[in-house]
Amino acid sequence: MIDIVLWLPTLVWGAIFIWSYRREPRQFRNAFFFFFLCASALGALSSQLDQWWITLPIGLAVALAPFVTIIFMLVNEVQLVRREGFSLSHALPLLFACAIVAWFLAVPLALVVEAPGLVLGFLFALTLCGAWFFLSFTALLLYSWLYRSLPRKRQYDFIVIHGAGLNGTDLTPLLRGRVDRAYDLWVKQDKKGVFVPSGGRGTDEVISEAEAMARYLRSRGVPDSAIVLEDRSTTTWENLTYSRDLITRLSSATPERAALVTSDYHVFRTAMYARAVGFNADGLGSKTASYYFPTAFIREFIAISRRYWWPYALIMGLWALATVAIYALSAVS
């Protein structure tokens, strides 16, 4: 028999998530609603069945998650450097693993040497920041997968393709994957819709990314009448803002529905930014090489966290206030 009380949190989180998703699927809060829905459903299922072969793997997965993450990130770092070379952005998996190791070493060491209360308090605040970091990272990873996986049965009037750097005048494999994904969408909707290749010319580039994408589309048989260039942007935000303005001009007074085609790891941030700039568009993703996905997604998460920095500031601010209050009280007494 199903225990309704046991499943009540799952029902509540499910209702909240569905309501929020139907209102606007491009919101960051949906990631947390979906995470709590999954967590409560998993907890209710394990309690309902009460079988060791279910609870034991879940417990082991939680306990071993940090160690598995460290090993995975280190292996991924080696693969990434071998294929792409070393750079600061390519060092993200290594830094991610080192941060986890540093925490596991610092906390026990501080307790063993009986570090001052100020140090312990600071480590506690960092632990809370780390907990929030991993919670939000996991939530975003799950929801971004859901967002890009759900089918979208609509006709798009415009197909915006986000630039991603060039190899001379040729597309890089990453950018070619985006253009191919956009082309497949265009073919699927009976070759209707206008392409908007979006990307300016970098300081080390011969032509703009938009022009390079347009040349590739023409080589695949797309007529010039179905291509409109946006060749000024240098960031994701500019991609969206300039493309929105261009589409608004082309659509007279009525903004049309657009598809934003980018790499799969970049889809949800692109959709979030589109909502922020008032762009009526859906994100669609092209596949990314498995060895490149972790570092790319970490970079995406950091970019999103920069816009949602307040939880970290709140935690550290409360720690600072508590520290000042404790020292003030001790001075008075």
Q: Measuring CA to CA, how many Å separate 323 from each of 51, 124, 301?
A: 46, 12, 30
pLDDT, residue 2, reads 64
DSSP reduced 3-state for 71? helix
- For the chain, list the domains and their CATH numbers: 4-149 (no CATH), 158-288 (3.40.50.620)
10-residue averages of pLDDT along the chain (333 residues): 80 96 94 95 82 75 88 94 88 93 91 86 90 94 94 86 89 94 95 94 86 96 95 93 92 73 95 92 92 93 91 89 81 68
pLDDT, residue 255, reads 54
pLDDT, residue 227, reads 96
pLDDT, residue 254, reads 54
**Contact assessment for residue 155 and residue 192, using Cβ atoms and an 8 Å cutoff:** yes
Helix (H) or strand (E) holding 160: strand 158-162
pTM confidence score: 0.88
pLDDT, residue 302, reads 93
DSSP secondary structure, 23-53, as one string: H-TT-THHHHHHHHHHHHHHHHHHHHH--HH
pLDDT, residue 209, reads 95
Cβ partners under 8 Å of residue 245, min gap 6: none
Write out the two tokens for 233: 């942007």
pLDDT, residue 79, reads 94
